[in-house]
Amino acid sequence: MNSRAKRLILPLGGAIIATGMIGATLSTSAQAESKPAPRKTGSLVSSNGAKAIAGSWTPSKLKAAKNYLEDSTHSGNLKKSTQKASADGKAGSVAPIGAGGKTAGVSKNVNLPTNVGKVFFQVDGKPYWCSGTSVQSKYRNLVATAGHCVYDTDKNSFVDNWVFIPGYYKGKAPWGVYVGAKVNLHHDFSVYEDYDYDYAFVNVYNGVKQTGDKVVNKETFDAYKGPKWAKDVEITAAEYQKCYDEHGGETADCWSKTTGSETVLPWGTAGGEKVLKEVTKEEFDKAPAWNAKVNYSKAPAKTSTEIVDEATYKNYKGPGYKKIVDSAYTITHYYVKYWVKKSSTKKYYKTVFYIKELVDAGRLGDNVGGQGFTWNRSTTAKQFAFGYPTAAHLDGNKAYTGETMKWCYGQTSAAPAVPKYKAEEQIGIKCAFTPGATGGPFLIVYKSASRTGYLNGVVSLTLDTDGNQRYDRITTPYFNSDTYGIYKYAANLYTGKLSTSS
């Protein structure tokens, strides 16, 4: 960017093969250290707490999460910005790597990248999601997404329970769940909420996968921090008695439950008894007077009317009949008598405790590879964008579900200014993505055979630029030397495994 971001000038060029420390082979590394990018780094969770976070994202919770609409959209007749993004040094790049370093054969189709997925997190206890992608790093542990999908600018704090699921598909995590450990973003986004820097790089722990169900005792169940649940199972009276005698009373392994029931009988039948039941006025009017041949009768003596205040009257939801009489709020209760036989049933149960064990799925980059990284590139390059759009267009048309990955392709150009987000130097492509795609990658030189390209942006805003109630453009911050400096720092951070033992 020309006027606001010339903090780090690096004469970079050519493709850098990412072996060892990212960027370590550059002759300008000493200069980069002396002029570090204005970076904000923070921790999301320690390794001790990460297991519980991984286990908390069950398939039902993943499906219940909503796309994060906060600070990601705008509609209106937007004008061209008076400022434009531009390189602040020579272009540079870090090569991508596929899973295991392997590539597929030549393909004429657009194969979706396996290392793009969803990032899930919580704000105020509610689950949300954006899109994101694995990107090349020394320890194969880095995810790129939008800054606002990591940092809550309203509270000036990081979001909670952040995880990345590459290849997400309809609630499934085919390559595991990767818990966020460390966050690196631009100072100007966290302090000034400037969307010209709306990007973040998150280091994640090794992934975890959930195994099948395992039955455990209550002590193990109570101590376990991963996904777990309990189920009541009926047992025989003999099993109950044996367990009761062994434990000297009822426990979670054996307990009883008595349920009562009433069977309506003809009036006066032996073994029955009279009960009183409140009914609606309509039911009362239909009930016949007492007769030995019927099994219920009216009980006029038990009909009563009460005068209540206005609030009680309006809030009353019972069977009583509400009526305003001479400006008084009244509720009349009606009762009938039934002749019933009461009985009770005693059943016996034990509580079975289940857990899903978590196993180490390995490093993110080893499993799905990582996109390359590039900066200070042309602002008019042809690029793919991938993500999980889901929200309806502003006119109500819903074109996407958010459960499957989608793509757009186009040539970038200067994006319109969006003063609401201080976005003045973003670039974008024409695309009908709706919110949900936010955080997904912009990739140049994308090859379907390897499913990799070079990360040159992340979806920041979804815009309706002409005010016709249809989203028509997605934007990204321009990746310059500042972006590279933050990426380079994050790309050399170690996280490692998280403990999966119970």
**Range of 45's domain?**
15-206+363-490
Give the residue carrying structure tokens 């370590």.
24
Question: For 302-328, what is each residue's pLDDT tens digit?
Answer: 788 999 999 999 999 999 999 999 999
Pair 200, 217 in one domain = no
Say which range, 95-99, 344-348, 467-471, has the weakest mean pLDDT. 95-99
Q: Which of 14-18, 59-63, 409-413 has the highest mean pLDDT?
A: 409-413
Which one of 333, 354, 375 terminates a domain? Answer: 354
Alpha-carbon gap, residue 12 to 21, rounded angstroms: 16
Pair 200, 220 in one domain = no
Question: For 378-390, what is each residue's pLDDT tens digit?
Answer: 999 999 999 999 9
Alpha-carbon gap, residue 157 to 151, rounded angstroms: 6
Mean pLDDT calculated for residue range 260-272:
84
Identify whether 2 is part of a domain: no
Residue 163 has pLDDT above 60, yes or no: yes
Provide the pLDDT for residue 4: 47
Residues facing residue 186 across a β-bridge? 39
| CATH at 28 | 2.40.10.120
Pair 33, 112 in one domain = yes
Provide the pLDDT for residue 419: 87
Provide the pLDDT for residue 27: 30
Pair 136, 252 in one domain = no
The pTM for the full model equals 0.73
Alpha-carbon gap, residue 329 to 467, rounded angstroms: 52
Coil, strand or helix: which one is 472?
A: coil
Residue 206 has pLDDT above 70, yes or no: yes
Pair 226, 277 in one domain = no
Name the DSSP class of 88.
Answer: S
Residue 114 has pLDDT above 50, yes or no: yes
Alpha-carbon gap, residue 249 to 365, rounded angstroms: 54
Provide the pLDDT for residue 15: 40
Provide the pLDDT for residue 501: 55
Say which range, 229-233, 266-270, 282-286, 333-337, has the weakest mean pLDDT. 266-270
Residue 56 has pLDDT above 70, yes or no: yes
Residue 435 has pLDDT above 50, yes or no: yes
Which one of 310, 344, 378 terminates a domain? Answer: 344
Residue 453 has pLDDT above 90, yes or no: yes
Alpha-carbon gap, residue 376 to 1, rounded angstroms: 9
Residue 54 has pLDDT above 70, yes or no: yes
Backbone angles phi, psi at 257, to 5 degrees: -145, 125
Mean pLDDT calculated for residue range 43-69:
86
Name the DSSP class of 197.
Answer: G
Q: Which residue has the higher pLDDT, 140 or 153?
A: 140
Specify the length of the chain in residues. Answer: 502
Pair 83, 43 in one domain = yes
Question: For 478-495, what is each residue's pLDDT tens digit?
Answer: 999 999 999 999 999 999
Identify whether 499 is part of a domain: no
Pair 385, 328 in one domain = no
Q: How many CB atoms lie within 10 A of CB 222?
A: 10
Q: Which amino acid is at 385?
A: A
Pair 68, 185 in one domain = yes
Pair 221, 319 in one domain = no
Average pLDDT, the chain: 85
Coil, strand or helix: which one is 113?
A: coil
Question: For 334-352, what is each residue's pLDDT tens digit?
Answer: 998 888 898 889 999 999 9
Which one of 292, 319, 354 terminates a domain? Answer: 354
Which of the four pLDDT bands, split at 50, 70 and 90, describes residue 32? very low
Residues facing residue 365 across a β-bridge? none
- Strand 441-447 to 160-166 pairing: unpaired
Largest CA distance in the chain: 106
Which candidate, 71, 54, 29, places its Cα nearest to that of 164?
Answer: 54
Instruction: Look at the chain and report how many structural domains it folds into.
Output: 3
Say which range, 8-17, 69-78, 216-225, has the weakest mean pLDDT. 8-17
Alpha-carbon gap, residue 335 to 281, rounded angstroms: 9
Q: Quick one: what percent of the chain has pLDDT higher than 90?
A: 55
Alpha-carbon gap, residue 111 to 263, rounded angstroms: 65
Pair 480, 385 in one domain = yes
